């Protein structure tokens, strides 16, 4: 079938993309290579389609299908999307990806090479032809291009050659592609997906979540869009989740299980009802976590995979929890985050927790007992605050204590509760002892950025303190707002405020933080403090995990970089990624910004951006298969050259 006919079929709804297909993942270099091969009339492979009834065909996008038999692309999506995008000058209706990959393709009439638009290189050169403009003009508009060329005296002698090359470009849409069809009543969705995975064994194999969503969309085509809509609402509130995570919560609501296979026998009505219940329970969970624990944004939401378990419990109780149940559930959530309960095999851990939640004599008590059996005692020890950086597991605990308690801003004396108004009231991380002075005294990086040297202040107070020493600014703040220092667990022995006693200050503050943490956890238990009795059977870490974010400025740089990646049409990475032993859940390192499954999931290697990190951290990440970048600019160049395949100007 001619390429032009295939494109017409896409327009008319005779050909579409099955719902289970992932989005567009090609980069500009692959698009350029495809057009170069077509121009030279090299083979580019055929298409594999699934011929099925339109009325039962779950397809992507909002374009209508024709009645009768339609053909859903199983193999060839990337090629046909690229061809459609360049020839039509816009993405097809089923498009979901980065349109920049095929926007602005140009062809040089003299060198016969394809390249994407670069103003400095192409502007004012009539030999660079916009391929989309030529394709949309077609043979009828060919004369206009010839006229432009003929108007250039220096090109007149080669106009004939150029016209031939323009015609060869236009002729690409007349190339025939072989189409192989999968047909027959026995070709169920499972069978077709298996065929798809076999054909794409070297490429975008479907995950279990993809397959589950495909089956859902077969009966309810709007499911993906509705789920994405909810994800956008949560993202606007600064909680970033993905479809797999939402689907996991929907699954626990409907089936009480984590494995997606349990959704197989659910109808479209079941799924729609389940999504309503799941999103309602998620909203409740986030409101509880943000309101009661103060964990009000993405970077402090540790243990996010505990939420599908919370969702099941809330749904089963119709959201009607009394105060003790609510707080005990939040106690479990906080404890699960502290000890990395879901850093190992997420699916199996969720299943274990769901099983005890609903098994014989199940409930919150059993859930807490399982957590204690898995980890040991649940009491916080001073040594747990030995960690350092904004990615350490106890960094969210410090934030939580600040929000839950009566911690006060030193400059204003105002309690640091949520929803403080004004830009200058935004909470910022503050190094109590200034970094520069500590480095001068030869303290190492881990000591300088120890959690016990962090506190939270408003921007206004942070600016007022600047890089002054505690022995200088502490007395001033204590005089203005008595008790404000102690509200942030500052030891009141003034000898500990001196630079020479920094290590002693850290040890004293860790004691105060642990006591505060246990007090707040006891509050959540409403007197049922047996869960906090006895020391942890797992000692506080003797060794500090490597890597980590050392300042709010570094965190802001990573957030800006993440926003830039998203603006390129690519998925956001995880800031402060918890790299843990998959068997034990023990934290081994903190990667500043990571894509553990690759930026193009399952197509590219895992990636980590490691700013200002040691050789040890970089070696660990590299040994785990991560491609590492130590500067934002180098990472951006990688995205542009290898993911988007843009030619960069020197």
| Displacement of CA 648 from its chain's centroid (Å) | 26
Contacts of 122 (CB under 8 A, 6+ apart): 106, 115, 128
Q: 456 - beta bridge partners?
A: 429
Read off the pLDDT band of 196 (50, 70, 90): low
Question: What single-letter DSSP state applies at residue 267?
Answer: -
The values of phi and psi at residue 644, to 5°, are -95, -20
Q: Which two tokens stand for residue 622?
A: 């590299």
Q: pLDDT higher for 27 or 515?
A: 515
Q: What is the pLDDT of residue 174?
A: 94
Select from 313, 389, 366, 374 the least CA-distant residue to 340. 374
Q: Which helix (H) or strand (E) holds 346?
A: helix 346-358
Mean pLDDT over the full length of the chain: 85
Read off the pLDDT band of 584 (50, 70, 90): low
At residue 61, does pLDDT exceed 90?
no
Question: What single-letter DSSP state applies at residue 568?
Answer: T
Q: What is the pLDDT of residue 189?
A: 61
At residue 549, does pLDDT exceed 90?
no
Encode pLDDT of 278-311 as tens digits. Answer: 999 999 999 999 999 999 888 889 889 999 999 9
- Interatomic CA distance for residues 73 and 182, integer angstroms: 10
Contacts of 1 (CB under 8 A, 6+ apart): 176, 177, 179
- Interatomic CA distance for residues 148 and 545, integer angstroms: 65
Encode pLDDT of 317-328 as tens digits. Answer: 998 899 999 999
Q: Are 589 and 546 in contact (CB under 8 A)?
A: yes
- Interatomic CA distance for residues 340 and 488, integer angstroms: 25
Q: Are 275 and 245 in contact (CB under 8 A)?
A: no
pTM, whole model, 2 decimals? 0.73
At residue 202, does pLDDT exceed 80?
no
Average pLDDT of span 4-14: 92
Average pLDDT of span 148-153: 76
Read off the pLDDT band of 420 (50, 70, 90): low
At residue 94, does pLDDT exceed 60?
yes
At residue 2, does pLDDT exceed 90?
yes
Q: What percent of the chain has pLDDT over 90?
A: 45
Question: What single-letter DSSP state applies at residue 643?
Answer: I
Encode pLDDT of 485-497 as tens digits. Answer: 999 999 999 999 9
| Displacement of CA 650 from its chain's centroid (Å) | 31
Q: Are 531 and 331 in contact (CB under 8 A)?
A: yes
- Report the range out of 2-11, 438-447, 596-605 with the highest average pLDDT: 2-11
Average pLDDT of span 152-160: 75
What is the DSSP secondary-structure string of 595-641?
Answer: ETTTTTTTTS--EEE-TT--HHHHHHHHHTT-EEESSHHHHHHHIII
Give the least confident one: 197-211, 349-363, 412-426: 197-211
Give the three-state DSSP class for 533: coil
Average pLDDT of span 599-619: 83
Encode pLDDT of 359-370 as tens digits. Answer: 777 789 999 999
The values of phi and psi at residue 204, to 5°, are -85, 70
Read off the pLDDT band of 109 (50, 70, 90): very high
Q: How far is CA 50 from CA 13, 15, 110, 183, 342, in A?
A: 14, 10, 42, 6, 39
Encode pLDDT of 612-622 as tens digits. Answer: 888 888 988 88
Average pLDDT of span 516-537: 86
Read off the pLDDT band of 243 (50, 70, 90): confident
Q: What is the pLDDT of residue 426?
A: 67
At residue 64, does pLDDT exceed 80?
no
Q: What is the pLDDT of residue 220?
A: 82
Q: Are 418 and 294 in contact (CB under 8 A)?
A: yes
3-state secondary structure 137-192: HCHHHHHHHHHHHHCCHHHHHHHHHHHHHHHHHHHHHHCECCEEEECCCCCCHHHH
At residue 50, does pLDDT exceed 80?
yes
Q: What percent of the chain has pLDDT over 70?
A: 89
**CA atoms within 13 A of residue 262's CA, in its CB half-sphere:** 15
At residue 142, does pLDDT exceed 90?
no
Q: 18 - beta bridge partners?
A: 59
Q: Which two tokens stand for residue 253?
A: 């609501």
Q: What is the pLDDT of residue 186?
A: 62
At residue 418, does pLDDT exceed 70?
no
Q: Which helix (H) or strand (E) holds 311?
A: helix 307-316
Read off the pLDDT band of 520 (50, 70, 90): very high
Read off the pLDDT band of 193 (50, 70, 90): low
Q: What is the pLDDT of residue 96?
A: 80
Q: pLDDT higher for 418 or 529?
A: 529
| Whole-number CA gyration radius for the chain | 29
Q: How far is CA 362 from CA 42, 281, 320, 366, in A?
A: 65, 20, 18, 6
The dihedral region occupied by 543, where left means phi > 0, alpha psi between -120 and 50, and beta the remainder, is beta
At residue 131, does pLDDT exceed 80?
yes
- Interatomic CA distance for residues 456 and 409, integer angstroms: 8
């Amino acid at each position: 079938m001619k390429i032009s006919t295939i494109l017409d079929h896409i327009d008319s709804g005779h050909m579409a993309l099955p719902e289970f297909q992932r989005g567009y993942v090609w980069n500009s270099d692959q698009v350029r290579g495809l057009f170069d091969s077509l121009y030279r009339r090299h083979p580019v492979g055929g298409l594999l389609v699934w011929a099925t009834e339109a009325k039962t065909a779950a397809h992507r996008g909002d374009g209508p299908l024709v009645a009768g038999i339609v053909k859903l692309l199983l193999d060839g999506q990337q090629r046909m999307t690229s061809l459609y995008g360049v020839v039509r000058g816009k993405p097809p209706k089923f498009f979901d990806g980065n349109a920049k990959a095929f926007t602005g393709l140009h062809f040089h009439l003299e060198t016969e090479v394809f390249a994407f638009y670069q103003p400095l290189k192409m502007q004012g050169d009539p030999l660079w032809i916009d391929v989309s403009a030529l394709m949309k003009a077609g043979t009828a508009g060919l004369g206009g291009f010839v006229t432009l060329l003929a108007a250039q005296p220096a090109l007149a002698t080669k106009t004939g050659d150029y016209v031939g090359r323009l015609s060869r470009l236009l002729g690409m849409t007349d190339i025939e592609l072989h189409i192989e069809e999968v047909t027959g009543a026995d070709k169920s969705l499972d069978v077709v997906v298996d065929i798809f995975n076999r054909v794409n064994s070297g490429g975008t194999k479907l995950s279990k979540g993809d397959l589950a969503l495909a089956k859902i969309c077969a009966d309810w085509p709007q499911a993906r869009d509705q789920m994405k809509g909810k994800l956008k609402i949560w993202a606007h509130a600064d909680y970033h989740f993905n479809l797999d995570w939402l689907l996991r919560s929907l699954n626990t609501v409907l089936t009480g299980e984590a494995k997606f296979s349990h959704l197989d026998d659910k109808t479209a009505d079941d799924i729609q009802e389940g999504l309503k219940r799941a999103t309602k329970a998620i909203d409740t969970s986030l409101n509880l976590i943000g309101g009661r624990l103060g964990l009000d944004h993405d970077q402090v939401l540790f243990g996010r995979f505990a939420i599908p378990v919370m969702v099941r419990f809330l749904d089963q109780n119709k959201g009607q929890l009394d105060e003790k149940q609510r707080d005990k559930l939040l106690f479990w959530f906080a404890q699960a985050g502290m000890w990395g309960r879901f850093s190992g095999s997420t699916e199996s851990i969720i299943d274990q927790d769901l099983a005890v939640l609903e098994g014989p004599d199940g409930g919150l008590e059993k859930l807490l007992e399982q957590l204690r059996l898995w980890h040991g005692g649940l009491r916080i020890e001073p040594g747990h605050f030995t960690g350092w950086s904004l990615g350490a597991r106890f960094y969210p605990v410090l934030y939580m204590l600040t929000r839950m308690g009566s911690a006060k801003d030193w400059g204003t004396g105002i309690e640091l509760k949520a929803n403080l108004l004004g830009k200058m009231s935004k909470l910022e991380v503050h190094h109590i002892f200034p970094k520069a002075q500590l480095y001068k005294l030869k303290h190492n990086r881990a000591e300088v950025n120890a959690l016990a040297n962090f506190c939270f202040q408003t921007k206004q107070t942070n600016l007022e303190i600047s890089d002054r020493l505690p022995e200088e600014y502490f007395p001033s703040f204590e005089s203005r707002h008595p008790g404000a220092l102690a509200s942030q667990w500052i030891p009141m022995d003034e000898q500990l405020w001196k630079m020479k006693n920094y290590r002693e200050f850290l040890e004293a503050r860790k004691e105060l933080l642990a006591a505060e943490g246990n007090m707040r956890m006891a509050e959540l238990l409403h007197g049922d403090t047996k869960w906090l009795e006895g020391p942890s059977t797992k000692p506080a870490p003797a060794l500090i995990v490597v890597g980590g974010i050392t300042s709010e400025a570094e965190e802001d740089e990573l957030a800006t970089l993440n926003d830039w990646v998203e603006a390129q049409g690519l998925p956001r990475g995880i800031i402060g990624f918890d790299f843990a032993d998959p068997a034990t859940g023990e934290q081994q390192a903190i990667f500043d910004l990571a894509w553990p499954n690759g930026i193009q999931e399952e197509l590219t290697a895992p990636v980590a951006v490691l700013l200002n990190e040691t050789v040890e951290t970089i070696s660990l990440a590299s040994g785990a298969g991560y491609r590492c970048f130590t500067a934002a600019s180098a990472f951006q160049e990688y995205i542009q050259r290898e993911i988007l395949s843009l030619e960069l100007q020197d």
